[in-house]
């Protein structure tokens, strides 16, 4: 599925960039241009970024209090 039409970036490519260390919409834009054109996809990029990062953030929490 395309997440950014201006730069023909797919959700798979987006996940790859997140896997390579992109943690913000700006970093995604630096990696592939997504979000740096018309800006229509910025909200979608933000949601997908948060969804991708949420599980790893939870798994980083300590197991005991
Ligand atoms: S659709 Fe992503 S910058 Fe235009």
Domain CATH code at residue 14 = 1.10.10.1100
Index of the ligand 1 atom closest to the CA of residue 36: 3
State the chain's mean pLDDT as an integer.
Answer: 90
d(CA 47, CA 43): 6
Beta bridge partners of 10: 2
Please measure the distance between the N-terminal and C-terminal CA atoms of the chain and give it in whole angstroms. 41
Confidence band for 64, pLDDT divided at 50, 70 and 90: confident
Number of domains in the chain: 1
Q: Which atom of ligand 1 is nearest to the CA of 45?
A: 2
Domain that holds residue 44: 2-59
pTM: 0.81
**pLDDT number for residue 54:** 86
Q: Provide the angle, in degrees to the nearest 10, between the axes of the packed helices 25-32 and 11-19.
A: 110
Whether residue 38 is contained in a domain is answered as: yes
Residue 64 covered by a domain: no
Mean pLDDT of 52-61: 70
On whether residue 6 sits in a domain, the answer given is yes
């Amino acid at each position: 599925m395309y997440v950014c039409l201006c730069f023909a970036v797919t959700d798979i490519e987006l996940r790859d960039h997140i896997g390579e260390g992109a943690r913000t919409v700006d970093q995604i834009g630096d990696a592939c241009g997504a979000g740096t054109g018309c800006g229509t996809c910025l909200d979608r990029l933000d949601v997908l970024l948060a969804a991708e990062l949420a599980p790893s953030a939870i798994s980083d929490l300590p197991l005991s209090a």
